[in-house]
Chain A
């Protein structure tokens, strides 16, 4: 398990917010932790998959989409806070996220 610092968490938050702002063509400042990525930003699953790929590449993470898919069955993502929390777990646990 990798340790996640406050700095890494902030970096991930910025990466995620900037990504959604660009992909969904909305103002970055209009996105908050309570924003629903699907309903409020009209994001889709392909965007989410691409975000996982981007993050995995940036942090050299070894994680299978299938592991994240199984995790999502237990933990749906309704807000940007859920998204950030999930990416922090991906960073920490990699494929073991499925057991979290």
Chain B
């Protein structure tokens, strides 16, 4: 039933690293969307001219627009998804590309992160995230257990056997990353986001964001989407809305979502990120499938 899956990345890639991967034709399309949306949202296309919170969301919206351009390119090449998955803010991106919400609304969801940042600032919260390369979910769990409480730091996303993301209080994240290096991680990188996405503590600081996510009726997506939280196959608009609301404060199991897709028969995975970032941090059983990137297509 399912053969091709589209994979959408979250935030994190620098705009310049995304844009360099677009062909001239795709860059032209990207520029058209950016000019239109940035003007509508009151953002400056010269990113350094934006206020700090605006600059962050502007970078994230660029990521979504790149996804849209790549997604439309794949469709134009006759590559049509049977199903899809979104990693973190990739959930917002896939919601728009798969037709559950308009792209304009998806960008407004991203803009709402400013409200979350303001709330965190008002509550003097010092949160952060980090990524560990070379250690899997269980190894990181073992390291955290006994040293930290889940309130301090926890796994925010099990990406693959080579990549795990942690989230929580900034000080604990920093300490945990250092311990992971001592325990044999290849690399441990602090994000300095000021936000602990995918940590349950975020629920209390993201009410405005969540209310906004639920402020319109979602259409049923044109293609099913697998939940990265509980592996449900979602086909209804209300489920996509719920997924967007859970996104900020719920830990992700990206590894299990990809395994489930493989179990469902998916053999061709298409990385919708312009720079092939999903392919880099994801792992699938090579005997059962393969991840294709824009540069290969």
Q: Which of B184, B280, B281, B286 contacts A65 (CB 8 A)?
A: B184
Nearest Cβ on chain A to B182's Cβ, whole angstroms: 7
A50 touches B186 (CB 8 A): no
What's the Cα separation between A69 and B177 when bound, in Å? Answer: 13
The interface residues of chain B lying within 8 Å CB-to-CB of A67 are 184
Q: Which of B183, B185, B280, B286 contacts A50 (CB 8 A)?
A: B280
The interface residues of chain A lying within 8 Å CB-to-CB of B162 are 46, 49, 53, 65
A69 touches B134 (CB 8 A): yes
B147 in the interface (beta carbon within 8 A): no
B186 touches A73 (CB 8 A): no
The interface residues of chain A lying within 8 Å CB-to-CB of B163 are 46
User: Looking at chain A, what size class is its interface with the partner chain?
Assistant: 10 to 19
B185 touches A46 (CB 8 A): no
Nearest Cβ on chain A to B198's Cβ, whole angstroms: 20
A70 touches B186 (CB 8 A): no
A83 in the interface (beta carbon within 8 A): no
A66 in the interface (beta carbon within 8 A): yes
The interface residues of chain B lying within 8 Å CB-to-CB of A68 are 134, 184, 186
What's the Cα separation between A6 and B163 when bound, in Å? Answer: 34
Further 9 A-B residue pairs, CB within 8 A, beyond A46-B280, A69-B183, A73-B182: A45-B133, A45-B186, A53-B162, A65-B134, A66-B134, A68-B134, A69-B184, A73-B181, A73-B184
Provide a sorted-by-A list of 16 A–B residue pairs whose CB atoms are within 8 angstroms: A45-B187, A46-B163, A46-B280, A46-B281, A65-B134, A65-B135, A65-B184, A66-B134, A66-B139, A68-B184, A68-B186, A69-B135, A69-B186, A70-B183, A73-B182, A98-B184
